[in-house]
A and B are shown apart, each in its own frame.
Chain A
Amino acid sequence: MGYPHTSHPKETPVLSQYFGDPGARSLDGWKQRGGYRALEKALGMSPADIVNEVKESGLRGRGGAGFPTGVKWSFMKPGDGKPHYLCVNADESEPGTFKDREIMRWTPHALIEGAAIGAYAIGAETCYIYIRGEFTEPLRVMNAAVKEAYAAGVIGPNAMGTGKRIDVHVHKGAGAYICGEETALMNSLEGKRGNPRIKPPFPAVAGLFGKPTTINNVETLAAVPHILNRGAAWYKGMSRGNPKSTGTKLFSVCGNVAKPGNYEVEMGFPFKEFLYELCGGPLPGRRFKAIIPGGSSVPIQTVEEAEATVMDYEGFIAQGTMLGSGGVIVFDDSQCMVKHIARLARFYAHESCAQCTQCREGTAWTTRILERIERGHGTMADLDTLLELADQMTGKTICVLSDSCAAPIVSGIKKFRSEFEAHITGKRCPMGATAAA
């Protein structure tokens, strides 16, 4: 998808409707396109009604875990006498994922509006938008938009003239993937090392600064104004028969594919059609080999599995993987899977916060083995060691970064074992690739 942007006719552009439209960036432009009506409406509703509406819509978290947003909001006990906080997770660092970036780049006010509604709904007067440090352009755009919104009184001590306080602060991350994990993000905001915290206590009980906190992904919040404007039933209607997965989802597509980019489709869209029609299929003369459909942390699919998948939370699970953050990474038959799995492991080894023994040691150890295999120095026993380590790294740590590292390794060895064996027996990469430096 290039800019100016034209959606594919089979897309359902809700969040991406104004991608590529510079006019939508300003407050006025946003208002002309129907912006801030939802916030106005929301501030006239009771917080409980907003929470119910969002619950009813079936909206689920787009950050990766897919937790129902309305339910998450309902954990925030009104009137407990404590300050509440809303954190917006705009740290988008998951390899293969770049949808929040586009939302912030083109429609910053969509996020501010959604965040303001969310803050009001959970009884928070303060909202922090934690943006990935490398996102220089989105940071600039968001900062300008927040300033504009304050100046116009949309947010601030007297948001929309209602007497309600909604403060929004933009915070720049400093280059750590782990700070996208919700509790690490809170530590980072507090000025501490970005280590994930043990749970319980959950953020809704003791989050940022030890106070009740909700954390939502950018895409999740950007959907909220549409739900308030057009109703939960409308949102729920965007689904192909699975009431547990509703609305639209942005998928970021990259890799060996004819037309990489962001695509917004209804939940339940067929993955095959998505890959071959919307994304234009493989590059000339190539065939798809493997797909990672939900960002680097989910298991790898073979192309056969992918073609049988419907694109919603349950659909991906049925085909051995997860929807995750919706970052679709496509590999064709020219690619060495060993190399790519080694590269992913290296990413996690680099990003592990190093608290948990299994993650700190396991990510580094598996990386060394994978790189060794990739260079043709591996042994068959290495494969067993990898699976053994992956098992130790799964389900035992504070956050799921460790599991995320293990997932592609386990699925990769299971589904592409012959490639690993060819490296080991041939003592070199059969495709001539070497591990990236």
Chain B
Amino acid sequence: MPTLTINGREVTVPQGATILDAARSLGVDVPTLCWYPQLPIVGNCRICLVSVAGSPKLVPACATPAADGQVVTTESVAAVENRRGVLSMLLERYPVHDIPDGGSRNEFEALVRRYNVPTTKRSPLPLRTGDERAGDPLIQHDMSTCILCTRCVRACADIQVVGVLDVAQRGEHAEIIVGADGNPEHAGCTWCGECVRVCPTGAIHDLIPLAKLKAESAAQPERTVRSVCPYCAVGCQIDLSVRGNDIQRVRSPWIEETTPNIGSTCVKGRFGFDFAMHRDRLTKPLIRRGWVKRDGTWRFEPSPDDVARWGRRGGPWREIREEATTRKQRPKFNPLQSLRLADAPLGDPRDRVATPKEWYEPFREATWDEALDLVASQLVRLRDERGPNSLAVFSSAKCTNEENYVLQRLVRGGLWTNNIDHCTRLCHSSSVSAMQRAMNTSAASGSMREVEHESDVIFILGANTTESHPVFGAAIKRAQKRGATLIVADPRRIELAQRADIHLQMLPGTDVALLNAMLHHVLECGLEDKEFIRTRTHGFEAVREAVAPYTPERAETITGVPAHLIREAAERYARGPKSSTLWAMGLTQHHTGTDIVTSLLNLLLCCGMIGRWGAAMMPIRGQNNVQGASDMGAIPMSYTDYLPVTDPSVRRMYAEAWGVPEERLSLTAGLKVTEIVKPESGVVGMYIMGENPIISDPDVAHAEEWFRNLEFLAVQDLFLTETARYADVVLPGSSFAEKTGTFVNTERRIQLAHKAIDPPGEARADLDILIELSNRIGLPAPFADASAVMDEIARVTPSWRGVSYARLEGSGLQYPVPDAQSPGTFFLFDDEFPTADGKATLTPVEFMPPAELPDAEYPFFMNTGRQLYHWHTGTMTRRATGLDSREPTPTVEINADDARALGIADGDPVRITSRRGSVVLSARVSPRVARSQVFLPMHYREAAANLLTRSDVLDPYAGIPEFKVSAVRIEPVTAERVEEGNGKRSTALGARPAAAESWSD
């Protein structure tokens, strides 16, 4: 611990600290340009040079270790003279003649002002030039202001671990380049914008996506508001720059703040916010034409005309099923290169994916009073006439904890049913059922940063982290760089699989065989954690017997993974010493999802890889609040904190808290998403908040039919979605930027997002809508604001008892937070599990093949999932200009050998058909998928992957459908054959005359 003197003040710093670290700890501001926290130190700008007594030369503060007895002067005459020299040299080639006093626009200009450097030019050197990324929809370069600090190069290589940028040339010609050929695509760019974040001059900057912002208010933001990214469950904290009622851009929180993302974002987080200001936003409540209130009673009396045209609740649109088989246009060349957006062959993306005008035809605008009155009256009517269980509610993993809490409170206390669920059913419900059975828990045991900094082995299964959770994906890549072993189990050769030390490329749905074999080998080598098994688990013997027949050789025949790789993976995982286990939908979305996760938990528990810092168990959650929505009880079997609805004492507690008669609260678990959308469910009325099941549910064609036949449907959303178009009432809600509330990320971190702008028009904050609806239904919701809701949540939720808004500012809190003093919980289960006797239970599982296997007629495995640039059903991302222009059309990934055998070239139209339906979309020949497998993204209405998936086989415990395996057939589509389906005007691509479209380049 060296002690040194800086500007006359003594300071002691940890071994290994630099002079700069020491100065910063004293609050001494040594100017820097190339230095940036957490980036490798290169010391190239030479501006932080300081005087050290006894040293003939100035030394770089950023790169010189602090040493005992050093006497440092940071603003010595020599140091200041050098700084002015550096700044004036940089200014010579900087294209600005005047930096307004106090009006410096960036870090560099601020230093020029601080050291009072004259801006007159003396040098004969030309201004710098360089790449401009012309036509790029998201990131632009103006290299004339580049000062070659190389922060961007290092941010790309060392924070995001991509390596798109570098320095080329030498001397005065040195410049930052994008890949070897100037094409970011070829260099693996993911448009995350880390370079934008670190640039000290704005040479690399983001494009403000909306044209009107460019014109009026590109200037300084009026205010900056801390929010939480609305996409995945990493829960990146972001700062919204706001001017007027517009979000100008997303800025990163400072890298040294404790945020789950160290201020990084992915492309969605940084560039995907403009959907909130999209012109499709609903600004007034809508009521389906035909609803009239007479004598105080609402009646539905549609005009015979309307009924004749589109039935009880249809409209002038084609069903998802019809749209799927029409031809799709695709970009004829890379829209990123030298094209302005409006010139792109697909037209302006804002038009391409906008809500078609005719969708509004069946509706009329209404007042809030009318709309809420209608909703309340119909829900109450159905409750009383058809019974509480005739109603069901979809809550939302995109909505805040407070909103989810108030909605489930309304459903249980006001509608008297437990029929509330949300899309968790479709993602991690099988993880939850497996984890509950094994250790009575429903969330990750650890934190993302322990995986990054501590784990020796990272075992990732069925999780395409670099696309679905990119910021966590980058952390995993950093972990590997630091030396952690990466083992990836995935049927696709995704980026992490390519980087992995071991890639277990199993056949889809064969996970149990793989994991049982790994455990078999661990036991055979005696690598299991005997002490852990003995003291902390039950049921080991049964599992030992169950895995005994699963030799690696046998597993090889089932999974296709070579036995030696299974052995090696098993040994490395078991040897740890600290192995973290991460998984996502690749494991869960199977009809055997619970079994699959159970087999993983068996392995994990037998190796004792839980309950230590660095040995984390992490189901990587999908949506930004899927964890919170479940925690808040927006699931059919439990109240908040997973307290079962079937337990009378639990019921008593909530009845008291909500002031409702105990017997009003149902003691039977409600229906799950996948059970509700079934003819036999008995549900005739629904309220849906912020979900779009007509795209996200399996077997969409049946789902669409089911929603069409409801007696009453109310939808609260931002847009007139594919689901909302069937509604009787549409209530315009608020985007993430328009409300204050909390979200829970995948590591149980409760984070506070603040309202930045007002909802457009008459749209209202979702919480207000729910509170008013609750009051109108007869369940008083006496909440002044979101913070008051949180206070009630804390009262009824044991593991959130210590949570309050005052404590959530900044990094948030990882629950359990048992009391107001608790700092939260970074990792769980260090000495016991939350079970009756504190032990976990091992459950033997047997391999069962996927429900539908390829055969002669349907010879391909089809896998579905997410892409980097889109999100879920696309309602948000397809209205985010930049994101949609990166990935404008639906594609199916197919292996090159298969493509060749079928006579399909990259970009060709193909038809994919399963026993449920078929879709037409472009082929993307990709080395990522194995032979006989195809991958369909789930985001596109015009080629909805879920038309092909199956809804009739569900996981028996969790009710999750088998999204990951369907048998399909693929055919190339010739131009004539597409024509058939093209009779009606395409709503997605309507603006384009059909004749102008061509499949060939």
Interface on A for B, CB 8 Å cutoff? Answer: 176, 178, 193, 198, 200, 349-358, 360-365, 368-369, 372, 385, 392, 395-398
Contact = CB atoms under 8 A, between A and B. Distances in A.
B43 A198 contact: yes
Contacts of A200: 63-65
Query: Quick one: which of B89, B147, B167 has the most chain A CB within 10 A?
Result: B89
Given A198-B43, A398-B44, A354 B171 contact: yes
Given A395-B57, A396-B58, A357 B89 contact: yes
B42 A354 contact: no
Contact of B42 (A176, A355, A385, A392): A355
Contacts of A356: 44-46
Given A361-B93, A398-B44, A349 B172 contact: yes
B255 to A, nearest CB: 21
A82 to B, nearest CB: 15
**Pairs of residues from A and B, 8 with the lowest C-beta to C-beta distance, nearest first:** A354-B174, A364-B172, A355-B44, A361-B89, A392-B85, A198-B43, A368-B124, A352-B171
Nearest to A201: B65
B119 to A, nearest CB: 15
Nearest to A391: B85
B49 interface: yes
SS class, residues of chain A in contact with chain B: helix
A355 B47 CA distance: 12
Nearest to A392: B85
A355 B46 CA distance: 9
A269 to B, nearest CB: 31
Q: B-side binding surface: helix, strand, loop or mixed?
A: loop
A395 B79 CA distance: 12
A81 B538 CA distance: 44
21 contacts: A176-B170, A178-B170, A198-B42, A352-B171, A353-B170, A353-B174, A354-B171, A355-B150, A356-B46, A363-B171, A363-B172, A364-B171, A364-B172, A365-B123, A365-B124, A392-B89, A396-B46, A396-B49, A396-B58, A396-B82, A398-B46
B837 to A, nearest CB: 47
Interface of B: 41-47, 49, 56-58, 60, 63-65, 82, 85-86, 89-90, 92-93, 122-125, 147-148, 150, 166-167, 169-174
A357 B45 contact: yes
B125 A364 contact: yes
Contacts of B57: 395-396
Contacts of A355: 42, 44, 148, 150
B59 to A, nearest CB: 10
A385 B125 CA distance: 14
A193 B42 CA distance: 13
A397 to B, nearest CB: 6
B46 to A, nearest CB: 5
A398 B124 contact: no
B174 A369 contact: no
B78 to A, nearest CB: 9
A362 B169 CA distance: 16
Chain B CB count within 10 A is highest, among A357, A364, A396, for A357
Contacts of A176: 170
Given A193-B166, A395-B57, A398-B44, A361 B125 contact: yes
Nearest to A393: B85
B90 A357 contact: yes
Contacts of B47: 357
B63 A365 contact: no
Contacts of B65: 200
Nearest to B81: A392
B93 A354 contact: no
A351 B169 CA distance: 10
Contacts of B172: 349, 354, 360-361, 363-364
A349 B82 CA distance: 20
A277 to B, nearest CB: 39
A358 B60 CA distance: 14
A354 B93 CA distance: 14
A83 B58 CA distance: 34
A392 B172 CA distance: 17
Contact of B86 (A198, A357, A364, A372): A357
A362 to B, nearest CB: 7
A362 B90 CA distance: 10
B122 A368 contact: no
Contact of B124 (A352, A360, A369): A369
B171 A349 contact: yes
A178 B171 CA distance: 11
Nearest to A346: B171
Contact of B171 (A357, A360, A385): A360
Nearest to B171: A352
Given A395-B57, A396-B82, 20 more contacts: A193-B166, A198-B41, A198-B43, A351-B170, A351-B171, A352-B170, A353-B170, A356-B44, A358-B85, A358-B89, A360-B172, A361-B90, A361-B172, A363-B171, A368-B123, A392-B82, A392-B86, A397-B46, A398-B43, A398-B44
Nearest to A385: B122
Contacts of B90: 357, 361
Contacts of B169: 354
Given A200-B65, A350-B170, A398-B44, A365 B60 contact: no
Contacts of B93: 361
Nearest to B47: A357
A198 B64 CA distance: 9
Contacts of A350: 170-171
A395 B82 CA distance: 10
B850 to A, nearest CB: 44
Nearest to A371: B124
Contacts of B56: 395
A158 B93 CA distance: 57
A200 B46 CA distance: 15
Given A368-B124, A395-B58, A398-B43, A354 B89 contact: no
A82 B845 CA distance: 47
Contacts of A368: 123-125
Contacts of A363: 171-172
A354 B148 contact: yes
A67 to B, nearest CB: 17
- The listed residue with most A CB atoms (<10 A of its CB), out of B86, B92, B170, is B170
B92 A361 contact: yes
Nearest to B173: A354
Given A198-B42, A355-B44, A392-B82, A360 B125 contact: no
A357 B167 CA distance: 14
Contacts of B124: 365, 368-369, 372
B486 to A, nearest CB: 21
A250 B768 CA distance: 88
Contacts of B167: 193, 354
Contacts of B171: 349-352, 354, 360, 363-364
Nearest to B82: A396
Most buried by A among B60, B124, B166: B124
A396 B79 CA distance: 10
A385 B120 CA distance: 14
A79 B122 CA distance: 56
A365 B45 CA distance: 17
B86 A365 contact: no
A395 B56 CA distance: 9
A158 to B, nearest CB: 33
Nearest to A352: B171
Among A176, A349, A351, A356, find the residue whose CB has the most chain B CB atoms closer than 10 A: A356
Contacts of B41: 198
Contacts of B125: 361, 364-365, 368
B58 A354 contact: no
A176 B170 CA distance: 9
Residue from B46, B63, B148 whose CB has the most chain A CB atoms within 10 Å: B46
A31 to B, nearest CB: 43
B241 to A, nearest CB: 30
A363 B92 CA distance: 14
A352 B348 CA distance: 46
